[in-house]
C-alpha cells in the first residue's frame, strides 16, 4: 500500500506550493499536514516525497524568472569565454550563487541523519516557527532598505545563502524567512531581499529534490502520487510567487511573523493534546 495516496498528494502539493516561498516554513506545514492525515512523517519515502515535490515548486521559479535566469547564465557563459565580460554584475552574481550553495550542501550531507531524525520532530518545528518569527521581526526593525538588487555584493550573497542552513537544520525556521531576514539585515530593500532569496534557493532546492528522488520512487510512494503532487506544487507555487512579489512591494513581513507565531502555538497545542504525534 502506498504511503501517500493520490488525494493526499494533491493536498500536500497545494501546501508545498503555497508555503515554499512564503516565509512561513513549507517543511513545518507539510509535516503538520502529513501528521493530520496520519501519514508517517518519519517514513523514508515520505521524507523523500516532500523533497521531490519541492522540485515542482522550484520549477515554477525557473518558469517565472526565465528571462532573469537566461540573462544570468548567458552572462556567465560569456564571462567564461571572454575575460573582458567578467566585470559584468550578472556574471559575478552567478558565481556568487554557486559559492553560496556550497555551505548548505556540505551541512546537508553531513547532518542528514540528524535532519531526518531528531531535528525532524514536530516539537522542533513548533519552536523553530516561533524563534524564526522573532528573527524576522528583528530584521524588520533593523532594516534600512537602502540598497536594491543592483547593489548586491558577494558578501550579501554569502551571508544570505549561508542563512539557509538555519532552515535546513531547524525545519520550521523557513528557508525563505531566513534568507529574506538576512537580506533585510544587510539593508537590502524587501523586493531585492525576496528576489535574492529565490535565486539563491534554486541550486539547493533542485539538488535536494533530485537527490531524494531514488528514495521516493523506490519506497512506499507510487509514481502517480509523486507526479500529481509535483504538478500541483508547480501550479500553486507559480501563483504564490506572483502574489508574494506584489505583496512585498507594498507591505512589511510582519503579517507573516504573526501568522507563524499563531501556527507555532497551534502546533504546540496539537502536540500537547495528543492530536499529533511528534
Stretch 36-48: mean pLDDT: 79
Contacts of 141 (CB under 8 A, 6+ apart): none
Q: Compute φ and ψ for 147, nearest 5 degrees.
A: -125, 145
Beta strand ranges found along 37-167 (DSSP E): none
Q: Does the pLDDT of residue 148 top 70, yes or no? A: yes
Report pLDDT digits (tens) over 80-125.
Answer: 999 999 999 999 999 999 999 999 999 988 988 888 778 878 899 9
pLDDT of residue 98: 94
Question: Tens of pLDDT along 214-237?
Answer: 666 555 678 888 899 999 999 999
- The confidence score (pLDDT) of residue 219 equals 58
What is the structure's pLDDT at 39?
83
pLDDT of residue 277: 79
The answer to whether 178 and 166 are in contact (CB under 8 A) is yes
pLDDT at 223: 84
| pLDDT tens-digit map of 55-76 | 899 899 999 999 999 999 999 9
Q: Say which residue the cell 554569502 belongs to.
A: 158
Task: Tell me the C-alpha distance between 258 and 276, whole Å.
Answer: 22
**Which pLDDT does position 79 carry in this prediction?**
96
Distant-in-sequence, close-in-space partners of 216: CB < 8 Å, separation ≥ 6: 45, 48, 49, 51, 52, 226
Q: Is the pTM of this model over 0.75?
A: yes
Q: What pLDDT is recorded for position 214?
A: 64
8 Å CB contact between 22 and 239: no
Segment holding 75, helix H or strand E: helix 66-81
The domain ranges of the chain are 6-273
Q: Where are the alpha helices (DSSP H) in 143-253?
A: 154-162, 164-169, 175-185, 190-218, 223-248
Check pLDDT > 90 for residue 208.
no
The reported pLDDT for the residue numbered 17 is: 95
Distance CA 174, CA 163 (A): 10
Please check whether residue 25 is in contact with residue 168, taking contact to mean a CB–CB distance below 8 angstroms: no
pLDDT of residue 215: 63
Give the whole-angstrom CA distance, residue 56 versus residue 143.
32
Work out the number of other CB atoms within 10 angstroms of the CB of residue 76: 21
Distance of alpha carbon 30 from alpha carbon 9, whole angstroms: 11
Q: Is residue 12 within 8 Å of residue 30, measured between CB atoms? A: yes
The answer to whether 32 and 60 are in contact (CB under 8 A) is no
Amino acid at each position: 500500500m502506498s504511503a501517500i495516496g493520490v488525494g493526499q498528494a494533491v493536498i500536500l502539493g497545494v501546501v508545498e506550493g503555497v508555503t515554499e516561498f512564503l516565509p512561513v516554513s513549507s517543511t513545518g506545514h507539510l509535516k503538520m499536514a502529513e501528521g493530520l492525515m496520519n501519514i508517517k512523517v518519519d517514513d523514508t519515502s515520505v521524507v523523500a516525497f516532500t523533497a521531490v515535490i519541492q522540485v515542482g515548486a522550484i520549477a515554477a521559479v525557473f518558469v517565472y524568472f526565465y528571462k532573469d535566469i537566461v540573462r544570468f547564465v548567458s552572462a556567465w557563459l560569456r564571462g567564461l569565454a571572454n575575460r573582458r565580460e567578467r566585470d559584468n554584475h550578472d556574471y559575478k552574481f552567478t558565481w556568487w550563487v554557486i559559492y553560496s550553495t556550497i555551505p548548505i550542501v556540505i551541512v546537508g550531507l553531513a547532518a542528514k541523519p540528524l535532519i531526518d531524525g531528531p531535528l525532524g520532530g514536530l516539537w522542533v518545528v513548533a519552536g523553530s516557527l516561533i524563534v524564526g518569527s522573532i528573527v524576522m521581526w528583528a530584521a524588520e526593525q533593523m532594516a534600512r532598505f537602502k540598497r536594491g538588487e543592483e547593489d548586491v555584493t558577494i558578501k550579501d550573497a554569502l551571508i544570505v545563502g549561508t542563512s539557509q542552513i538555519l532552515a535546513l537544520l531547524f525545519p520550521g525556521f523557513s528557508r525563505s524567512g531566513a534568507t529574506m531576514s538576512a537580506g533585510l539585515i544587510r539593508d537590502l530593500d524587501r523586493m531585492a531581499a525576496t528576489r535574492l532569496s529565490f535565486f539563491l534557493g534554486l541550486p539547493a532546492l533542485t539538488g535536494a529534490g533530485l537527490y531524494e528522488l531514488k528514495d521516493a520512487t523506490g519506497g512506499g510512494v507510487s509514481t502517480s502520487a509523486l507526479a500529481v503532487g509535483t504538478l500541483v506544487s508547480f501550479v500553486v507555487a507559480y501563483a504564490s510567487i506572483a502574489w508574494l512579489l506584489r505583496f512585498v512591494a507594498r507591505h512589511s513581513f510582519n503579517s507573516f511573523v504573526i501568522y507563524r507565531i499563531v501556527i507555532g502555538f497551534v502546533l504546540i497545542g496539537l502536540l500537547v493534546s495528543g492530536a499529533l504525534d511528534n
